[in-house]
């Protein structure tokens, strides 16, 4: 079974430029998460989707961050414009809505803003 797929794995951009990250969850997983992980810290939830609906986006900085999951499968997280402080690893995870208590994480996208 394929795991959570993320692309790109690495991205370097200049500040004020836009950037987008893509995630394809495990097949059949209705719930999708985006996390941000700063260096030396644990992951921090940005947004959680149940199918197409964003059910928890309280930690998403909405002035510059946006996310979508149009058909309830893959998802895109966008930053526009990027700031130096956005340099981090962006992780996507997915899970079944109930039952096995486990979130499955992708390898992440390492973003460097210069």
Partner 1 sequence: DAKTTQPPSMDCAEGRAANLPCNHSTISGNEYVYWYRQIHSQGPQYIIHGLKNNETNEMASLIITEDRKSSTLILPHATLRDTAVYYCIFSNTGFQKLVFGTGTRLLVSP
Binding site residues, partner 1, CB under 8 A: 4, 31, 33, 40-45, 48, 56, 91, 93, 95, 101-108
Three-class SS of residue 86?
A: helix
Q: Which is nearer to partner 1, 21 or 33 (CB)?
A: 33
Minimum distance from CB of 51 to partner 1 (Å)? Answer: 13
- Nearest residue to 5 via CA among 105, 114, 110, 103: 105
Tokens 């803003």 correspond to 113
Q: Which is nearer to partner 1, 47 or 82 (CB)?
A: 47
Minimum distance of partner 1 from residue 104's CB (angstroms)? 7
Q: Do residues 44 and 11 make contact, with C-beta atoms less than 8 angstroms apart?
A: no
Q: Report the distance separating Cα 21 and Cα 78, nearest Å.
A: 6
Least separation, in Å, of the C-beta of 48 and partner 1? Answer: 6
Counting Cβ atoms within 10 Å, is residue 4 exposed (0-12), middle (13-18) or buried (19+)? buried
Judged by beta carbon, residue 22 or residue 105, the one nearer partner 1 is 105
Q: How far is the CB of 101 from partner 1 (least distance, A)?
A: 4
């Amino acid at each position: 079974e394929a795991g959570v797929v993320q692309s790109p794995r690495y991205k370097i951009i200049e500040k004020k430029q836009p950037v987008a990250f893509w995630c394809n969850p495990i097949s059949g997983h209705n719930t999708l998460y985006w996390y941000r992980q700063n260096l030396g810290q644990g992951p921090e939830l940005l947004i959680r989707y149940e199918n197409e609906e964003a059910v928890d986006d309280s930690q998403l900085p909405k002035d510059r961050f946006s996310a979508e999951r149009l058909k309830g499968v893959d998802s895109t997280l966008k930053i526009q414009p990027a700031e130096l402080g956005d340099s981090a690893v962006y992780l996507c995870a997915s899970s079944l809505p109930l039952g096995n208590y486990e979130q499955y994480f992708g390898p992440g996208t390492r973003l460097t803003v210069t």
